[in-house]
Structure 1
């Protein structure tokens, strides 16, 4: 806000300087003689005006316009044109002492008309009108600029608060993820204790009993060993079932990672992004998902740099012998595609598993990755 006040002050100084130069030039071009008193008055007038911007205490500032008005009136007898300097100082005085500057300034500018010759009345009234319009306009635009600065500061404060809240939410999210992992570990530990612990205890009891009977009763010892083997197999099958139940399918891992990546891209950039998939996603191996995601990431980067698009469509499709992943935008496209490092990298990744990449710029910009797979 201080910058706004400084700029307004500079415009005021510029207007006063222009009016002063005009008045002095008109006085010098007239037939009136330039006396030492006139030069002294001019220097005194300049000093009083500079004093207005040097004084820091608001209580003394009204004295400066009064001094300037007094100097201009004193110079009026020898050089009548100096009366033209009164309107700007009358407005300054009214702006400091009275609330409604325009009305009060207009009323205070009228009495000097009674003192001046009729030849100066029109010029004086013109300068008074220009002064009122200029300073009123400066006041209006200064107030608007101050309001815009205040709104900008408010928006900056809101942005900082939102940033702080976002950081807090991210910390809460990380803490929640850590808590979920701890709960999963606790659940896994409990399952291991309930299942594996029970199985191992039963097996150990059977083996200990068989060890004691192996010399005296071979038949019973054999039965106990068979029981231990049977319990061990059931325990192993139970562990495998639990682990299989806990492990997410490959299809869920790949699709969810892709959705997460696309959501992050949509949050960062103002582009509408649609994602669709069809077919049996279980046929897509982890290495295929990695290639697809890397190529889609590179394609989106190229779209952001060169396409000028507002919408992007991502489609992953499992065909009978091929996996097809395409990225298409509604941008300006390009007739001749020049392969840079990004496209070459996509082709090399696809070629590593026997696939290929097709780039087309005829309608928008599209990148299609084709990867073979075996059932």
Structure 2
């Protein structure tokens, strides 16, 4: 738009110059070297003002042109007053004071050219004033739009950088979560299978000692070693199976798969609900929810003899909360050794927390993970399963 206006201004400028020069040629005006010098100085200064000079020197350049044109109008043909329209055109959208200040000069010199010329100049002046006001308003809007565009572009760059930073942070958190989970599994295997394998080794050594003198005792130890080894294999198989959610289901649906399998294996009734509008979660977050659900469900059966589990996942704007409620026998003194410490460690990697509430019958364990505004809440939308 601005480029089109500049092209139009240049066209009008050339048209005015052509008209004045044509009038001087037709009237055979006394054009000498001084006239040519003043004329070229005016053209040079006006071009300099439009294309190069900044706002600070703009008024001075306009005053110089007014002086040069007054010399032309006084010393030579009065048709040179038409050059003042170039000043009006240059200042109409930049400095209204200079634009309006040359209008009396135009009227004064056009008066001596006859009433028809004076009326024509009045019409041109009125048109340029209306055109100038519209152009001034349009230019302000263009500048405002350009400023908004620049601001939006800066915000876009900042958002892109923030997105990249968040992705890098998510990868680091994911790697850290994997390391923490491996460390936890190592401790779990050591505390379960490690002790059993140590006992198995001692039994095997005892078999070697008593096999000659007490063959029956050695046979009993051998059967006991076999059972102990089977137990180790089952524990190892269960540990490997529970490392991560099943591959054929992703995201929150992995929790539904686990609950279906858990219900079949333990004869426990489960009820699963989603509140809010689901949004994407990081793989590490899904794994943490999956493992915490495993821990809470297992503890409810193992320590509380629960028969029913209610699981609710709340998709909030700034956090995701998974609550597991059981109808077990509960207890008066809660021990973090019942798997709660491990649950806290998993969500701590994401800045989350665990909240435990003792109910009249059973427990309520909530896993809360901040999601940094990844979704909006829709309380009317829910998913139920079980």
8 Å contact kept, 1:88–1:131: no
Contact 2:107 2:118 in 1 (8 A): no
Distance in 2, Cα, partners of 1:100 & 1:71: 19
Q: Which moved more, 1:31-40 or 1:15-24?
A: 31-40
Q: Match of 1:169?
A: 166
TM-score (norm 1): 0.55
Change (3 A) 1:79 1:19: same
1:316-331 matches, within 5 Å, as none
Q: Mark the CA change 1:230 to 1:28 in structure 2 (over 3 Å): closer, same or farther.
A: same
Question: 2:15 aligns to what?
Answer: 18
* Residue in 2 that maps onto 1:223: 220
Is residue 36 of structure 1 aligned with residue 29 of structure 2? no
For residues 47 and 242 of structure 2, what CA distance do their matches in structure 1 show? Answer: 86
Partner of 1:66: 63
The 1:247–1:106 alpha-carbon spacing in structure 2 relative to 1, beyond 3 Å, is same
C-alpha RMSD of matched pairs (Å): 3.8
Match of 2:83 in 1: 85
Q: 1:250 to 1:58 in 2, by over 3 A?
A: closer
Pairs aligned (count): 254
Counterpart residue number, 2:117: 120
In structure 2, what is the Cα distance between the partners aligned to 1:245 and 1:48?
83
CA contact (8 A) 1:52 1:61 kept: yes
Runs of 4+ with >6 A deviation = 93-96, 254-257
Separation in 2, partners of 1:17, 1:144:
28
Q: Is the 8 A contact 1:88 1:128 kept in 2?
A: no
Q: 1:331-342 alignment to 2 at 5 Å?
A: none
Residue pair 1:210, 1:225 contacting (<8 A) in 2 also:
yes
Aligned mates of 2:251, 2:162 — CA distance in 1: 31
Q: CA deviation at 1:203?
A: 0.9
For 2:183 and 2:113, the matched residues in 1 are separated by 99
The separation in 2 between residues aligned to 1:54 and 1:235, in whole angstroms, is 87
Structure 2 equivalent of residue 235 of structure 1: 232
Superposed CA deviations along residues 314-333 of structure 1, whole A, max 9, x for unmatched, are xxxxxxxxxxxxxxxxxxxx
Distance 1:163 1:122, change over 3 A: same
Structure 2 CA distance, aligned partners of 1:249 and 1:57?
68
Q: What 5-or-longer segments of structure 1 have no aligned partner?
A: 258-265, 268-375
Question: Higher RCO, 1 or 2 (CA under 8 Å, sep at least 6)?
Answer: 2
Could you tell me the TM-score, scaled by structure 2's length? 0.54
